Amino acid sequence: MSIYAVLGAGNGGQALAAILERHGHEVRLWNRTPNKLQAIRNGINVSGQMVFHTVIDVLTTNIAEAIENAKMIFIVVPASAHLDIAKLLASYIKKDQAIILNPGRTAGCLEVRNALVESGCTDLPVILETQSLFCACRSTNPGEVNILSFKMDNSISGIPKTQFTEFKDELESIYINLTFMPSALSTGLENIGAILHPAPVLLNTGWIESRDVFFPHYYYGISRSIAEFLEKMDMERLDVAKKYGLKVRSVKEWHEDNYGTKGANLFETLQKNSAYASIDAPRVLMHRYITEDIPTGLVPISELGRAVGVKTPTIDIIIELGSALLEVDFRKEGRNLRRLGLEGKSINEIKKSFEYNDREGQKSHP
């Protein structure tokens, strides 16, 4: 039996904590605020692909208590919170522990690594990130989680790349169908949510802000024209990856691998995905599909492209539109080259930054 910490008691955090508990591990579930933890003190009911009830060993708002002696620390929060949580962990994390971002979005490992160093952490742990959450799930109420579908081919990587495979056997006992990627740049540039989330929300703003209209995000929110627009964004993402010598899957290929749905184009592929049937579009613009997926997805993809001379005009339209509608400069506030410590670096230097940590000779950048 291992001790695991799960940081974040949202949809994915509750699902992961329940599954780890069911597998016989000791689980500490941490959340910033106590209200949600109080609501699940009597346990978590899981439905959908799995049906069971379990009670979590430790519920806490104390991050030091949550991670003490924990072999792995699963961070299951929107990627926009990674930076803050890394700063909280810096005083307590040990080098023999592992951090797993679920998911890392784009450049999550790098941002967490830099934040730990800048916060005074000298013995850096291995930092891993999955490309996606291990399952599609929703929690309508605290303590009630519906697992809609498990991902059939979820990629994972980490920093330093020379050590993250040490956790391969244990991770494969927790997650199903993992694919180990060569570097965290690979998982970061296979960020599917960045393509599927922000643009459909922004292009359906009128309906989303209507008080009486609710609709499935993937079924009704992504029309044929919007799907074609998403495929243009996706081609830009693939071009950025190609420039770095990486082959990553298109959104359409990713859905075929993870959900087994196939269509002539992205629109048909999404329409055939039954796991998305009950996932509604956001009801406000101030939603993680915007506030997470633009600054930690589209911005770093665009910035990584800029660093190597790859233009991303369609992606940039969505960054600018989201910034204008929400009155937030997402490029300035997001994971840009300066924030990631990559400004002015060559392509080889950028690639190495996603492969090695400071104790292997890499320098941290403010």
User: Tokens in use for 181?
Assistant: 């990627």
Mean pLDDT of 210-235: 94
| Annotated catalytic residue, options 197, 217, 234, 255 | 197
Active site residue 329: no
| Annotated catalytic residue, options 82, 234, 255, 293 | 293
DSSP 363: P
DSSP 153: S
Check residue 362 and give its pLDDT: 41
> pLDDT digit string (tens) for 174-206?
887 889 998 999 999 999 999 999 999 999 999
Strand-pair category, 44-48 with 144-150: parallel
Check residue 174 and give its pLDDT: 83
Measured CA to CA in angstroms, residue 247 lies from 39, 110, 166, 239 at distances of: 44, 20, 24, 9
Query: What distance in Å separates the CA atoms of residue 270 and residue 252, rounded to the nearest whole number?
Result: 8
Active site residue 197: yes
Give me the sheet containing 52-54, strands edge to edge: 52-54, 44-48, 144-150, 135-141
116, 101 in Cβ contact below 8 A? no
8, 79 in Cβ contact below 8 A? no
More confident residue, 357 or 143: 143
Query: What mean pLDDT value characterizes the chain?
Result: 93
Give me the sheet containing 98-101, strands edge to edge: 58-60, 26-30, 3-7, 72-75, 98-101, 126-130, 154-159, 178-180
> pLDDT digit string (tens) for 116-135?
999 999 889 999 999 999 88
Check residue 361 and give its pLDDT: 39
Query: What distance in Å separates the CA atoms of residue 309 and residue 141, rounded to the nearest whole number?
Result: 46
325, 202 in Cβ contact below 8 A? yes
pLDDT at 321 over 90: yes
Query: What distance in Å separates the CA atoms of residue 118 and residue 300, rounded to the nearest whole number?
Result: 20
What single letter denotes the amino acid at residue 21?
A: E
* Domains of the chain, first to last: 3-182 (3.40.50.720), 193-335 (1.10.1040.10)
H or E element, residue 338 = helix 337-340
Query: What distance in Å separates the CA atoms of residue 316 and residue 313, rounded to the nearest whole number?
Result: 5
Check residue 363 and give its pLDDT: 41
In which band, very low, low, confident or very high, does the pLDDT at 277 lie, cut at 50, 70 and 90?
Answer: confident
> pLDDT digit string (tens) for 224-263?
999 999 999 999 999 999 999 999 999 999 999 999 999 9
More confident residue, 158 or 173: 158
% of the chain at pLDDT higher than 70: 97
Check residue 358 and give its pLDDT: 52
The C-alpha angle 212, 217, 223, rounded to 5 degrees, equals 100
User: Tokens in use for 79?
Assistant: 């990627």
Measured CA to CA in angstroms, residue 74 lies from 52, 99, 100, 253, 349 at distances of: 21, 6, 5, 27, 28
Cβ neighbours of 285 (radius 10 Å): 16
